[in-house]
Structure 1
Amino acid sequence: MGSGYPAGILLGVLDAPRRVPLIWAGLSLLAFAGLAWAVTGDRSPLDGLDQWGRRSEDWADESAPLVEVLRAIELGFNTIGMTVLTVIVASWLFTRGQRRAALFAVMVMGVAALATTGLKLVLGRDRPEWQDTFGLHANHSFPSGHASSAAAFAGIMVVLALLFIRRANLRRVAVAVAVGWWLLVCADRIFLGRHFPTDVIAGSLLGLAVVLLCLAFIDPRPRSTAANVDPLPEVFTSQRRLAVILNPIKVEDVGQFRSVVNAMAVESGWSEPRWHFTTIEDPGGGMADKAAVEGTDLVLVCGGDGTVREACAELAGTGIPVGIIPAGTGNLLARNLGIPLYLRSAIDVALNGQDRAIDLVDVSGDGLADTHFMVMAGMGFDAALMEGVNEDFKAKIGWIAYVISGLRSLMFPAVKFEVQIDDDDPTTHRARTIVVGNVGYLQAGMPLLPDASIDDGLLDVVILHPKRFLSWIPLAVRVLSKGAKSDELIHRSTGARVVIRASADTPRQLDGDSIGAGRELRMECVHGRLLVRVPR
């Protein structure tokens, strides 16, 4: 049984009709029944395989450190340990609003535990006589409870990875870790002599079968908005014309993505969408203009913050709502609007959510054509961080590339800045970075500007000046605690217009995109300029 066996099956059944997981579950249970017949009663066609377990235990017993590690694995992933893991995962899913996935996790682990216990009593196979003498197990042996619970939990992790991790590289790593952990627990049972190899294989088959059976009857994917709530009343009658602007490098399979969007659009009562694809020369503005000219009642924009920024700026003031489908690395606008990062859920919100008027920020500066941002602008450390991200590296490992670039840029030299808010007199500061935000939260929910609101007509400014390397620690503590105090370390202010002038050329960024070094940024918040679709 190869390490990709469970993952391959689960990948094929997530979007399949109910009969597909039922067929695979039936095949797994049939294999389990064959093993049960072969190892019970006086039948012994698999004695040769089971005797290999004796040799494995003898080999492991020669290394005391290895035995201690095996015993730790046994203790860590026993019934209590797996129950704790299940509660942690289910609680995390529930608090994140993924109630169906939480129910799926609880049902899989509960059914696997009950089925294993019942089958042990019915089949009544004795433990191997050569098991490790420390903590002898006296209950029945077939199937292995550790193996069934590990296979079931690994199956849950694979399902969650396939559902919620968009980047193929990270998804493959997550699946490999889950499958590798399952194999480690299985090996532990054999090397300690707690189980015959056939017990472990049977337990794994049982755990996989339970995952597949639960997938057939419990859909772990978020329930659609259309299925949850009544349609919103239309203020005016539209033809429900739909356009989609897609950055094709941000989705793994463009054809599959188009198929999903087309099907969900028709199901939600929209016309089949017209598709527009961004290019290096035109990251979204031209496509948005074309969609508006063609006559569109809703535009879906799928890409990172840069693509969203360009398309939204073009559609601002047109009255055409924008549905954001976050497919980038940061996705800060989507995060701050409560738009889910799971693509199907984001498409559902875009098609069936409610409209919200949000602010847009006009930007100008030296060497910079008049432009705009939706999320945040910055000068100093944060812009140097964005500038230092390796794009190839980011494509492979996602947000971790920002962490690595950030560590390299932590001691970006302090710069003398002049900051003017509205019509107030300018103030002078020495700082490593200045961030001007239309929203308040970074990745992982970090509240850099906790009082910022995207529809209040105001910009929030934070000036950060950690003087030494270790000063980043109290700064991080104060940011995470949402402290409102202003001093030399963290200085906060708000206004509708903000002008920043640096004493030397300094890196600058808009919505995570580096725009080159310069000495000035002039920003003005335009209140309620854009309609976006948000969850109801």
Structure 2
Amino acid sequence: MLDAPPRVPLTWAALCLLGFAALAWAVTGDRSPLDQVDQWGRTGEDWADDFGPFVQVLRVVELGFNTIGMTVLTTVAAAWLFLRGQRRAALFAVVVMLVTALATTGLKLVLARDRPEWQDTLGLLETHSFPSGHASSAAAFAGILITLSTLFVRKANLRRAAVAVALAWWLLVCADRVFLGRHYPTDVAAGTLLGAAVVLLTIAVINPRPRSTAAKADPLPEVYASQRRLAVILNPIKVEDVGQFRSLVATMAEESGWSEPAWQYTTVEDPGRGMAEQAAVSGADLVMVCGGDGTVREVCAELAGTGIPVGIIPAGTGNLLARNLGIPLYLRSAVDVALNGQDRAIDLVKVGGDAINDTHFMVMAGMGFDAAIMEGVNEDIKKRIGWVAYVISGMRSLMFPAVKVEIQIDDQEPTVHRARTVVVGNVGFLQAGMPLLPDATIDDGILDVVIIHPRQFLSWITVALRVLRKSPVVDETLDRRTGTRVRIKASSDTPRQLDGDSIGEGRELWMECVHGRLLVRVPR
């Protein structure tokens, strides 16, 4: 619906309004062809009266989702969207709810249908009945939630769950109106049709998708003549519909003045390096990579030092590099940034150790608890529920045993610590914006190190609070270091990870920051 031309939502809106008009004609005046249907409301109210606790729940629903409750919900949703940079989506939500409220109030006054005579006596309502305001606002808000889920929830299972919750909530509110006797069933049906019609009409007028950079900004000046050749490296298991994604990229590339994309797919044997090398040799002016942090790491490591900018399309679970660079997680917006954003020179980190080949990472490396989390993630659960799989694994790994580690920063004397985890970061923020390394910057040429050693299970709460507060205090529980070169030696084999990918157990990692080595596309 969101990608369809305006005539499609307008057509569906017209059908909803026709249904509303038919109901309005049938239940007003002296006409009564639907009296038998409305009598079901009396039956429902009589049945509910026999269950006192159920009626109490219904009254809570009535109060929670009245005009005040829906105004609070709308305000919170719109504010959250606005602060997340989704201003058109915020405007969409406000307009839908405001128009629905005004239309419902006006139609109640015009049609002037009385309330059912059997409504619950507690909190008796004497205002007009048709259409139901609760039903229209619930349908409108459910439509907003479904629209936003379609836009911003990437995993199909989570998207279906969000839609199911929205529909279940709407049904609960509608049932509440009938079982309390506040409305006839036809009032509720009419309110639902009205709310749905407003959502569809608003989609046709205010598309909630983020506006393209190409549509609102002048092209960036080019420092050399470019044929604007575009190469796309895609991890095909990270997008639901490869054909649809290819069509989206091709259309947006053409609109932004880029050539027809040259496509390459990663494989288990080659997660991106070979494809990146081929793109560089073929003379690509921009390489777009779509995948998780692992795929992004492989492509970026190969293109480092070539001067070819990388456009990152985050399609994984963590997407930590994209989050720290401010690249939107909504695929269409990320493609827009890749095609029309500005180039930023960022650091990458050389890394090596026992039993691994020398490579690079972009985000962070770790030994201990954090790597045990990555190692313990169930891939099937991760596919179904995304980042929640990391929470489950983390709860199981909280008391990962402390190990003795020797840490050397640059040419300083090594220091010995007891630690449950040691993290070396090129960026500062983890999932949900947790500032594990609050002073880390991806283009400062410096690595940030955090050494964490909570002695007891409850000590993790103290650690979490200090991290969230960005506390500058350092001690044996949470210590911080910085430098351009870092070497970690553990006294026993310990899990290790690079950018969220487990690389197996070992006793050593060494890292060196390479300043400004890679060009990436970021928002203007």
Instruction: Give yes or no for TM over 0.5.
Output: yes
Normalised-by-shorter TM-score class = over 0.9
Query: What is the match of residue 448 of structure 2?
Result: 460
Query: What is the match of residue 115 of structure 1?
Result: 103
Q: How many residues align?
A: 524
Q: Say whether 1:246 aligns with 2:234.
A: yes
Q: 1:122-160: CA deviations, max 9, x gaps?
A: 000000000001010000000000000000000000000
1:421 to 409, 415, 419: 409
Query: What is the match of residue 373 of structure 2?
Result: 385
Q: Flag as ranges the 4+ runs of structure 1 deviating above 6 A.
A: none
Q: What's the offset of the Cα at 1:248?
A: 0.2
**How many Å separate the matches in 1 of 2:207 and 2:189?**
27
Q: What's the offset of the Cα at 1:314?
A: 0.4
Q: Say whether 1:353 aligns with 2:355.
A: no
1:88 to 68, 76, 82: 76
1:70 to 48, 58, 72: 58
Letter in 1 for 2:488: I
Query: What is the match of residue 288 of structure 2?
Result: 300
Q: Say whether 1:398 aligns with 2:386.
A: yes
Letter in 2 for 1:333: L
Letter in 1 for 2:302: E
Q: What's the offset of the Cα at 1:223?
A: 0.7
TM, length-normalised to structure 2: 1.00
**How many Å separate the matches in 1 of 2:44 and 2:105?**
26
Query: What is the match of residue 122 of structure 2?
Result: 134
**How many Å separate the matches in 2 of 1:393 and 1:103?**
35
Query: What is the match of residue 53 of structure 1?
Result: 41
Alignment of 1:83-482 (within 5 A): 83-482=71-470
Alignment of 1:25-40 (within 5 A): 25-40=13-28
SS of 2:504 mapped into structure 1: coil
**How many Å separate the matches in 2 of 1:316 and 1:474?**
39
**How many Å separate the matches in 2 of 1:443 and 1:383?**
15
Letter in 1 for 2:184: F
Q: 1:305-339: CA deviations, max 9, x gaps?
A: 00000000000000000000000000000000000
Q: What's the offset of the Cα at 1:485?
A: 1.3
Query: What is the match of residue 8 of structure 1?
Result: none
Letter in 1 for 2:233: I
**How many Å separate the matches in 2 of 1:191 and 1:237?**
70
**How many Å separate the matches in 1 of 2:8 and 2:491?**
65
Letter in 1 for 2:267: T
Task: Give 5+ residue unaligned stretches, structure 1.
Answer: 1-12
SS of 1:515 mapped into structure 2: strand
**How many Å separate the matches in 1 of 2:134 and 2:373?**
45
Alignment of 1:497-536 (within 5 A): 497-536=485-524
Letter in 1 for 2:134: H
SS of 2:268 mapped into structure 1: coil
Query: What is the match of residue 4 of structure 1?
Result: none
Letter in 2 for 1:403: V
SS of 1:517 mapped into structure 2: strand
SS of 1:350 mapped into structure 2: helix
SS of 2:138 mapped into structure 1: helix
TM, length-normalised to structure 1: 0.98
Query: What is the match of residue 7 of structure 1?
Result: none
Letter in 2 for 1:31: G
Q: Say whether 1:486 aligns with 2:470.
A: no
Q: What's the offset of the Cα at 1:513?
A: 0.3
Percent of aligned pairs with the same amino acid = 79
Q: 1:333-354: CA deviations, max 9, x gaps?
A: 0000000000000000000000
**How many Å separate the matches in 1 of 2:416 and 2:52?**
66
